Amino acid sequence: MNRLKVDGKSVVAIACAHDPEILCLLNNSSEYFWNTGLNSWTIPDHQEYISKAIAQLSAIGYVDYRGIKKDVKQQKESLVSLNSEKHEDLGIQIGTFRNFLSSRRYSSNTVKTYTEALRVFIRFMGEKKPEEWHLADIIRFNNEYILKNGHSVSYQNQMVNAVKLFLKVVENRHIAVEEIHRPRPEHRLPNVLSKAEVKAILQALSNLKHRCMLSLIYSCGLRRGELLSLKPVDIDSKRNLVHIRLGKGKKDRVVPLSGRILEMLREYYVAYKPQRWLFEGQKSGQPYDERSLSEVLKQARQKAGITKPVTLHWLRHSYATHLLESGTDLRYIQELLGHKHSKTTEIYTHVSTQSLQRIKSPFDDL
């Protein structure tokens, strides 16, 4: 790791071996950026990013961060290497936990989320070993870390679930987490764009690949990961279908493909000739970066003059809501989105304006 200046900004460059596990971590995390000019991965030069990167990479191999440490005292106080002799046992236990999750076929995102959650809890516990963890420690963690730092309800539940599962699998212990006061679930409505706003965003894209990616997310109601996992063979041009392989919940599904999108994809295929993935990054055979895709949407939104903080998932919400407003049965929308429960899909009835706009306010009769 070394500090460098890129376009006037300080970044930390990470040079690493072409190890599959390391590359998988770097490719699947939004924290890291590939810089072609430096031929290295980079992260912002902030202590939060640096500490997290060292913790993640130390669980896989040796990390040489001598090029960025300001002084030995600060480094010892703020950074913990799970590969040090002192934490060797914890590193083995985390590896055992990761292997359990993988063998149970948890998704790569879940494996990453749970193992990282466990590392955060370990750092919070300091010198206290897992066999010494008790219910009071989890309650203290919730109060002194989760609530103090303003983390979300879902993050809190992920942390508790990860620690509970770790203790059950690795330590063969049971902690009655049901005795912890769980936060009340939040019931937030999905954010939805109008058709005019979606059109403005898509028309603001001059790059063919970028326009294809965002158009496919909206026209098929895809999740970001589902789009980036598509392969050329998943586009069934004869039946006008898109095959989603092992989406959320390890489920396959098919969604109808717009004829206009199919023509756009044919033009894209001729121009870019993708090899392994339908949408590849700068390197052939590597999937397009998630963070870069979010940046594409951000630039298109700004160019279209839309001030709302639009995310990629807004396009999926908009697809479902627009289908409902055009008269599509809710059961079909559930299948198209890949929802396991109908209640998940019913939330779009609360944001559809078709019925609401027909309601006459009693104020108009005054």
Cβ atoms of 320 and 334 within 8 Å: the answer is: no
Tell me whether residue 361 is in a domain: no
Residues 174 and 254 grouped into a single domain: no
Closest CA to 139 of 156, 114, 118: 156
- 310 phi/psi in degrees, rounded to 5: -65, 135
* Positions marked active-site: 223, 248, 313, 316, 339, 348
Tell me whether residue 250 is in a domain: yes
The per-residue pLDDT for 80 is 40
The per-residue pLDDT for 341 is 83
- pLDDT at 79 exceeding the cut of 60: no
Cβ atoms of 348 and 333 within 8 Å: the answer is: yes
Cβ atoms of 289 and 27 within 8 Å: the answer is: yes
Distance separating the N- and C-terminal Cα atoms of the chain: 70
Place of tokens 């109008």: 194
Q: Which residues pair with 67 in a beta bridge?
A: 2
The per-residue pLDDT for 348 is 83
Question: What is the count of structural domains for the chain?
Answer: 3
Residue 268: CATH number of its domain: 1.10.443.10
Q: Write out pLDDT tens, residues 225-236.
A: 899 999 999 999
With H, G, I as helix, E, B as strand and everything else as coil, classify residue 212. Answer: helix
Residue that terminates a domain, selected from 32, 66, 83: 83
CB neighbourhood size of 119 (10 A):
21
Residue 95: CATH number of its domain: 1.10.150.130
Give the single-character DSSP code of 84: S
Percent of the chain with pLDDT over 70: 78
Q: Please tell me the chain's helix, strand, coil percentages from 3-state DSSP, rounded to the nearest 5.
A: 55, 10, 35
- pLDDT at 84 exceeding the cut of 50: no
| Average pLDDT in the chain | 80
Instruction: Domain of residue 208: give its range.
Output: 195-356
Tokens of 127: 């010198």
Residue that terminates a domain, selected from 26, 55, 83: 83
Residue that terminates a domain, selected from 155, 186, 217: 186
